[in-house]
Structure 1
Amino acid sequence: MSLHPSFPYRLYLVISEKDCLGKDLIRVAEQAILGGVDIIQLREKDCSDHLFLQNAQRLKELTDKHNIPLIINDNTEVAKKADAEGIHVGNNDTPPLILKQDPFFRNKIVGYSIEYLHQLESENTLLSDYLGISPVFRTPTKNDTVTEWGIQGIEKIRSLTDKPLVAIGNINLGNAKQIIKAGADCIAVVSAICAAPDPQKAAWQLKNKILQ
Structure 2
Amino acid sequence: MPGSPASDGWPLMVITHPRPTCGRSLEQVVAECVDAGAPAIQLRDKTADSRALTTTAARLRAITKSAGATLIVNDRLDVALAIGADGVHLGPDDVTVPAARDIAPPDFIIGYSTDDPEEARRAAAAGADYLGVGAVFGTRSKPGLANEAIGPDRVRLVREASGLPCLGIGGITLQNAPAVLETGAGIAVLSTVMSAPDPGAVVRELLLIARGEGGCRR
Compared CA separation, residues 138 and 120, structure 1 to 2 (3 A): same
Task: Name 1:197's counterpart in structure 2.
Answer: 197
Cα deviations by residue, 1:106-131 (Å, 9 ceiling, x for unpaired): 42000000133320231x33210001
**Matches of residues 4-83 of structure 1 in structure 2 within 5 Å?**
5-6=6-7, 8-20=9-21, 22-83=23-84
* Range moving further from structure 2, 144-153 or 154-163: 144-153
Residue equivalent to 1:125: 124
CA RMSD of aligned residues (A): 2.0
| Partner of residue 215, structure 2 | none
What SS does structure 2 have at the residue aligned with 1:121?
helix
Distance change >3 Å, CA 128–CA 20, structure 1 → 2: farther
Segment drifting more, 141-150 vs 57-66 = 141-150
Report the CA distance shift for 1:9/1:115 in structure 2 as closer, same or farther (over 3 A).
Answer: closer
TM-score (norm: length of structure 1):
0.90
- CA gap of 1:4–1:22, structure 2 versus 1, over 3 A, is closer
Question: 1:38-85: per-residue Cα shift (whole Å, max 9, x none)?
Answer: 100101101111111111000001011101111001111111111100
Query: How do 1:129-144 residues align onto structure 2 when only pairs under 5 Å count?
Result: 129-144=129-144
Deviation sequence 1:113-169 (CA, Å, 0-9, x none): 0133320231x3321000110211211101154963211211222332321011110
CA, structure 1 residues 5+155, in 2 after alignment: closer, same or farther (shift >3 Å)?
A: closer
Structure 2, gaps ≥5 residues long: 213-218
- 1:152 and 1:128 mapped to 2: Cα distance? 21
3-state SS of paired residue (1:101): helix
1:155 alignment counterpart: 156
Specify the SS of the correspondent of 1:100.
helix
Corresponding residue of 1:178? 179
SS of the equivalent of 1:40 reads strand
How many residues are paired up?
207
TM-score normalised by structure 2 residue count: 0.88
Structure 2 counterpart of 1:120, one-letter code: A
CA shift for structure 1 position 105: 4.1
Shift of 1:20: 4.6
Separation (CA, whole Å) in 1 of partners of 2:55 and 2:23: 17
Q: Contact conserved, 2:137 with 2:148, CA < 8 A, in 1?
A: no
Question: Compared with structure 1, are the counterparts of its residues 109 and 20 closer, same or farther at alpha carbon in structure 2 (3 Å cutoff)?
Answer: farther
- Contact 1:138–1:148 (8 Å) recurs in 2: yes
Change (3 A) 1:118 1:8: closer
Q: Distance in 2 between matches of 1:8 and 1:151?
A: 17
CA distance in 2, matches of 1:51, 1:81: 13
CA pair 4-14 structure 1, distance change in 2 beyond 3 A: closer
Identity across the alignment (%) = 28
Is the CA contact 1:88–1:111 (under 8 Å) kept in the aligned structure 2?
yes
Check whether the contact 1:134–1:167 (CA below 8 A) recurs between aligned residues.
Answer: yes
- Does structure 2 retain, via aligned residues, the 8 Å contact 1:112–1:125? no
